[in-house]
Amino acid sequence: MKNKHIVIKHIGNFNSEIIDSILLSIKNLLVKDNYPLIIRKRVYNISVECLDNILKHSDIHTVSKKLYDDNPSSFILEKDDTAFYVKIGNIILNENIKNVDNKLKKINSLNLDGINELYKNSLQNGEISKKGGAGLGLIVMSKTTKEKILYSFDEINNKFSYFVMNLKIRIDN
Amino acid sequence: MKILNIEATLKSPKVIFDTENFIFEMQGNSRPENVRNFYYPILDALKRFYESALENNKLEQFSSKIFKYNFKLEYFNSSSAKFISDIILLIDNYNKKGFNNKIYWYFEDGDEDMIEVGEDFSEMINVPFNFIMIKK
């Protein structure tokens, strides 16, 4: 964990313009710092999937301003000598926790071959949801990072919780 | 005749479907705002072309020549991956009916993840792709 520092941090409102601007900043920083192509693409890829996740899957439509202000959506990209870290957070309906938890438990229980099989099966059998997600985002995160996905749900009240997910992209493998 | 000729944007790839020169090509990045609106017309155009060829007994004309499918993608998000796999499944489906489509999968030198996803797609239909490295 030497020299861990924040590369980009955005907390608050997310829309497609803000996401485009975050992604452009990430792209430029990675090119400027001369990272190998594969690292640049992995960090970009994970950032896109994470930002898409915040935009499409945050359960914030019925949330009061006060509750959102106390628990805003967040995207943080950090790095140290060995890896980049993407940490996202957003509000989730308690009734949706089980579904997300089951998906992540399944993904984290698989080895790389298992993840690749799940990816191929989901491509062939997954339907595109109304929000434009194919249920593939979490699988792609695991496939790209080749690491377990760390996550938690912290209860806010009897209706909502705050979902946090941590991804690690190794620089040294 | 170019049935499709879609210009690239920052978030969506250039797409060409040229039935006179037997070329389909996708090039660039794919994370369109509305992934369905972008990909459904492409899948529809491909399907219409093959169904019309079958209806008009043109299979012989098309099976004697290779139809090249060039995927020159730099980046695509997970929802786009679903539709790209649908295009590949469609191509394979019409190969089984006698067409001669071949898939050329381009990747940048050092982009092992792009090779891997190409291999995943290839295994999905059980047909080898032609992998082509782009040097920068």
Q: What is the pLDDT of residue A1?
A: 55
Overall average pLDDT of the A96-101 stretch: 93
User: What's the whole-model pTM score?
Assistant: 0.92
Overall average pLDDT of the B6-20 stretch: 95
Q: What is the pLDDT of residue A134?
A: 52
Q: What is the pLDDT of residues A24-70, one digit of tens each?
A: 999 999 999 999 999 999 999 999 999 999 988 777 778 889 999 99
pLDDT over 70 at B130, yes or no: yes
Question: What percentage of chain B has pLDDT greater than the value 90?
Answer: 85
- Tokens representing B69 are 């499918």
| Cβ distance of A38 and B120 shorter than 8 Å | no
Q: Suggest the residue from A15, A22, A26, A37 to mutate for an interface test with chain B (most B CBs closer than 10 A).
A: A37
Listed in sequence order, the DSSP H helices in chain B are 35-55, 59-63, 78-95, 112-125
Q: How confident is the model at residue B58 (pLDDT cuts 50, 70, 90)?
A: confident
| Cβ distance of A128 and B123 shorter than 8 Å | no
Q: Where are the domains of chain A?
A: 5-170
Phi, then psi, of A127 in degrees rounded to 5: -100, 145
- For all residues of chain B together, what is the average pLDDT? 93
The radius of gyration of chain A from alpha carbons, rounded to an integer in Å, stands at: 16
Q: Burial level of B38, CB count in 10 A (0-12/13-18/19+)?
A: buried
Q: What is the pLDDT of residues A102-155, one digit of tens each?
A: 999 999 999 999 999 999 999 888 766 655 555 789 999 999 999 999 999 999
Q: What is the pLDDT of residue A17?
A: 94
Task: Provide the ipTM.
Answer: 0.91
- Residue B26 sits at the vertex; the CA angle it makes with B79 and A140, to the nearest 5 degrees, is 30
- A-chain CB neighbours of B126 within 8 Å are none
H or E element at residue A26: helix A16-32
Q: What is the pLDDT of residue A57?
A: 75
- B-chain CB neighbours of A38 within 8 Å are 110-113
Q: What is the pLDDT of residue A76?
A: 98
pLDDT over 90 at B64, yes or no: no
Let me know if domain A5-170 sits in CATH 3.30.565.10: yes
Q: What is the pLDDT of residue B121?
A: 96
Q: What is the pLDDT of residue B57?
A: 83
Exposed e or buried b per residue across A112-144, where buried means at least 16 C-beta atoms within 10 angstroms of its C-beta: eeebbebbbebbeebebeeebbbbbbbbbbbbb
Q: What is the pLDDT of residues B77-93, one digit of tens each?
A: 999 999 999 999 999 99
The CA distance from A42 to A36, in Å, is 10
Overall average pLDDT of the B120-134 stretch: 94
For residue A136, give the nearest of B82, B108, B124 by CB distance: B82
For residue A134, give the nearest of B33, B79, B114 by CB distance: B79
Residue ranges and CATH numbers for the domains of chain B are 2-134 (3.30.750)
